[in-house]
Chains A and B, each alone.
Chain A
Amino acid sequence: MVEHYRPKNLTEALEWMAERKLIPVAGGTDLMIRARNWQGASRAMKGDVVYIQHLEELKFITETETDYHIGAGVTQAQFYDCKLLPDYAREVVGQMATPAIRNAATIGGNIVNAASVADLLPLLYAADAQIVLKSRDGQRVLPIQSFEIGKYMTARREDELMFEVILPKLKIKKYLYKKMGQRRSSILSKVSFLAIEVEGGTRIAIGAVNDTVVRSKELEKRINEGGGVKSVLDGYKALLNGSDDKRSTKRYRERVVINLLMKWMEEKR
Chain B
Amino acid sequence: MNDKLYRGFLFIAALVVPVVCGGVVYALVTDAYEAFEYFGFFRFLTSSEWSYTDGAEQYGALPFITGTLMTTLLALVFCIPFSLPVALFVGEYFRDTQVAAVLGTVTDLLAGIPSIIYGLWGFYTLRPVIMALDISEQGSGILTASLVLAIMITPYASSLSAEFIKMVPNDLKEGAYSLGATHAEVVRKVVFPVAGSGIFSSYVLAIGRALGETMTVTMLIGNTNNIPESITSTGNSMASVIANQFGEASDLRLSSLIAIGLVLFLITALINMVGKIMIKRARIS
A and B: interacting chains: no
Interface residues of A (CB under 8 A from B): none
Interface residues of B (CB under 8 A from A): none
